[in-house]
Every structure is written in C-alpha cells, then in structure tokens.
Structure 1
Amino acid sequence: MPLDPPLSALLDQLNATPAPRIRDTDPEELRKAQRQLGAGLPAPETPAVGSVEDASVPGPARDIPVRVYRPATDGPVPTVVFFHGGGWITGDLDSHDDVTRRLCRDVEAVVVAVDYRLAPEHPFPAAYDDCLAAARHIADHIADYGARPDRLALAGDSAGANLAAAVALAFRDEHRPLAAQLLVYPATDFDGTYPSRTENAAGYLLSRQDVLDLQTLYAGDDPAVRACARVSPLRADSHAGLAPAVIATAQYDPLRDEGDAYAAALTRAGVDVFARTYDGLIHAFLHLTRLSPAADEAVTELHAQLKTRLA
C-alpha cells in the first residue's frame, strides 16, 4: 500500500534536511531536536481525563518520576503502566503526555507513565530496572492506582514497547498477574536480520542506521547482553504463559518484521494475541493522529482491543 499521503508530505519536509548520525550527536541535542519536532506537529486535541498528578515511586537508584492519569469513571478501574518511546535516549513524561491522556480516556483506566533513566548516561540495565521497579510497586500498591489487581496492563511504544515486553516476561516468571500488554512498533530483537530493516532503511523517520546506533548506545556491543531476554524479548527461552498481547507494527518501519515476529512467537506459544501491521503508516504514528486520519484510526482500534482485554 502507498505511504499515507499526510505522512508522505511530512517525510518530504523532514528529509529535506539530512539529520546527523545519532552516535555522533550530543544526547541533549537529540532530546532538544525531539522536542522541536513535536512542537512542529499539528497541536492535538487534549483528551479530557478526570485528573493528572505528578508523583514518584521507589526505584533502584533514585525515586522514579511518574505521572498518574485518572479517568472520569467512578469506582475501581483497570491500571496501565506506560513506558515511553524515544530509542532509550530521548522522551519523557511530557513527550508522551497526549498519548497517555488519550490512552486513559479511551481505555477508561488509570495510566501511570514512567520517567525511566535514559542512555547513554544510564545504559542497560538502568531503564529496564526502573521500569520493572515501577511496575512492581504499582502492582503491590494497586489500591492507589485503579484498585483492580486482576486488571493490570503494561504498555509502551518503540523502546517503551521493548521495555514493556521485557517487564511482562519478568512478571510471568515472578508469577505476578498481568491482564494485558500493549506493544506499539516494539523493538524485540537487537541482532536479528529482517527484510524491513532493508526495505525501510532510510527516508521513513526512523532509519536502519538510527536503530543500530540507538541499540548500541543502550545495550552496547556484547552479544550476550544484546541476546538476553531483557534486551531482546524475542529471544526468551519461552513465551508461554505471557499476558494477552495487542501488538502493532507499521508498514514503513524498519522495526516492522521483528514486531511481527514477536506476535507470531507469542501466538505459537498459545498466548492470546491481536496483531496488526498498519498499511501506509510509519514509526511513531502514535504521535501523528492529528496529522493522519489513518494513524488516528489505528490508535482507536488498538485502544479498543486493550480495553476489551481489560474489561
């Protein structure tokens, strides 16, 4: 399917100015560029939620900042712990504020967004350790976050989806109940060879070289580290017993095939999986719903699938 026309126009604009290589750029400059890119997109309608509160939870190295979104719904509701994307080196609570507000509104759940430590200042396992600690704390204090212990989910996009998948594996191994996981264009295999990495190598916002650089800045070059399930969830010894999964990939994304491979691996292991590759879309479409009706429809479907699993 052809590239979605509004996204094609956006890419024409972005590709007119070549971006510097990630590994050669100061991380703070990358974070600044991400904020500027977000500011240049059409302003989204701010989804209405019941309340928003900045707080913190205990972490392995510091208190971890979180932002708690509560729906207008009365009574106990499901809880979604959300890990933002940004290649493990950019992103924060503000970069995904509209994403998490909409998730709260659409799913009618408490959403707890986690501001984990970023690479390269804090390489693996810092982000993973923070996300696991935050998810454990929320699960152990569920009365403060939605109050339904049987309806806890993990969610994330891109690097955040990688972290959500890895934490879901840990929850399974710890026999902690988890009702669902929402993984949007997840990175699942650091050293695999996939056609989408070549087909979508350049020109689609996230390049093949970007993926290689980001993964190295996060997890380094040690093959044993890169292949462990905490970094490459697709390489886990078993995927049996994992929480039901909603997995989304985009046609024009270098991460497409490894996300599809993860959905297939979970399906083979007997996990309930809703998987969809969204034709015409690119990486980061969660942020492009105001620009692209097709992206908006995709997010609506994903949230409906998650809500069904949390009902």
Structure 2
Amino acid sequence: MFIKGNEKLIGTFKGTLQEKRVLVNCAEIPITIYTPIDVNKNKLVMFFHGGDWVSCNCSAHQTIVNTLADAAKAIWIAVQYRLAPEQKYPIWLDDSYDVTRYITGNKVSYGPVFLQLFVFVYHDYSGVHQTAKIGVASDSAGAQISASICYMIKNIDFQILVYGLFDVACRTPSHKEFSDPMYILTPATLEC
C-alpha cells in the first residue's frame, strides 16, 4: 500500500541515504541512515516502521522518513526489525531495543557521510554530538515499539507516535467509535 504511494516521491530526498547493519543477538539488523543536507547534529531519531509486526519494511516508509528528516533537519535511522510469523514474539521488540541501545551508546558514529568526486572538499565526518537528543518515532505497530523502547531505555529524550496500538485490552472508547470497516484496522480485525 505505502510502496505504490511512495513511487512519486522516491528520489526527492536531498540528503544522503546510507545502508548499514547492526549486529545484535547473532543477527545483522539492516538500518537506513537519512541525513539531510543542512543537518542539525543535536538530534537523532530512531524510526520503527508500522505494519502489524508482520508486514512492511523500511522501504515502504522511505518517503515518510525522507520528509520527516528534511523537516526536522535531524538524522533519522530506520530499523528493519525481523517480522512475524517467521520470527516469534517478541523478536521485533528485541531487535528494536538492541539496535536502539547500540546506536545510543555509539551515537557519535552516526552522522553525515559525504562522497567526494574529483575535488577535495572538507566536511565534518563526525556523527551527532555527544549531547544530542535521541528520539523514537513511528506509526501503528512501530509506534507501540517506540513507546515500549521509551519504557525500556531511560535516556530517550522524546517520542513521536502516530496511531499506535497502546491499549491491548481494547477497552477505550475509541475502539467502539472507530469500528466501522472504512477504518480498515477495526477492533474485529485486531481480535483475529
């Protein structure tokens, strides 16, 4: 669903994209680092894609992260956690937690990477500042992961959560209010 909508926006990001892997629990977790041209090295945001813990990936959310990185002038790191049903609960939370802990402990290693061709240009290749604020962000299942990360890691400075699933008992008034099938992810769907 997201991938088709993103096609028009792919390639519009003016910064740099860098693919890396973080080794956690004997698995290499892919991450994508989004660095805007006029980056502020005082912020770093971890992004965990939505998709009900079973679908989507970093590519499906690429243009969303591109846009947010440009708007915030901050480095954003998208984490491609492992998905169910191939992997069992709580692998997506474990992967996200381990990658976030690793990156927050090594944040000065994550920052601008500039390629130079034929001419020497000086750039500051260091990562974010040691005192940089660290945040987590996402939508849907990723928002639930983000909120959990904030509970598990105490030095997260902020969170950006969009329509996350935070009430696993499904007893809030919004579960009744948004039960119409036009909302796609209905309480009946969540109970399956």
Work out whether the TM-score is over 0.5: yes
Instruction: Give the distance between the partners of 1:96 and 1:182, measured in 2 at CA.
Output: 15
**In structure 2, C-alpha distance between the alignment counterparts of 1:196 and 1:190, rounded to whole Å:** 13
Say whether residues 1:205 and 2:170 are aligned partners: no
TM-score (normalizing by structure 2) = 0.82
Alignment-mate amino acid for residue 79 of structure 1: L
1:40 positional shift: 4.6
Matched, 1:52 2:30: no
Q: Does the alignment pair 1:120 with 2:99?
A: no
Separation (CA, whole Å) in 2 of partners of 1:59 and 1:42: 30
Paired AA for residue 96 in structure 1: H
- Give the drift of 1:123: 2.6
Extract structure 1 runs of 4+ deviating beyond 4 A: none
Q: CA deviation at 1:74?
A: 5.3
The residue matched to 1:49 in structure 2 has which SS?
coil
More helix by share: 1
The equivalent of 1:141 in structure 2 is 106
Deviates more, 1:137-146 or 1:68-77: 68-77
Does the 8 A contact of 2:48 with 2:145 survive in 1?
yes
- Name the SS of the counterpart of 1:54 in structure 2: strand
Identity %, equivalent residues = 28
1:150, distance to aligned residue in structure 2 (A): 3.3
> What letter corresponds to residue 174 of structure 2 in structure 1?
S
Q: Which SS does the other structure have where 2:21 is aligned?
A: strand
TM-score normalised by the chain length of structure 1: 0.52
State how far apart, in whole Å, the 2-side matches of 1:38 and 1:81 are: 19
Q: Paired residue for 2:145?
A: 163
- In 2, the alpha carbon distance for the partners of 1:196 and 1:74 equals 38
Show CA shifts across 1:93-117 (max 9, x none).
1110111111110111111000001
Per-residue deviation, 1:164:
0.4
The 8 Å contact of residues 24 and 95 in structure 2, kept in 1 or not, is answered as: yes
User: Does 2:151 correspond to 1:186?
Assistant: no
Distance 1:198 1:169, change over 3 A: same
> Cα RMSD (Å) of the superposition?
1.8
Q: Is the 8 A contact 1:80 1:155 kept in 2?
A: yes
Asked whether the equivalents of residues 88 and 127 of structure 1 are also in contact (C-alpha less than 8 Å), the reply is yes
Instruction: Give 1:44 shift.
Output: 4.2
Determine helix, strand or coil for the equivalent of 1:58: strand
Which residues of structure 2 form unaligned runs of 5+? 112-127
Residue of 18, 24, 33 corresponding to 1:68: 33
Residue 38 of structure 1 is matched in structure 2 by 2
Give the aligned partner of residue 252 of structure 1: none
For the 8 Å contact 2:39–2:74, the answer to whether it is kept is no
One-letter code of the match for 1:199?
A: E
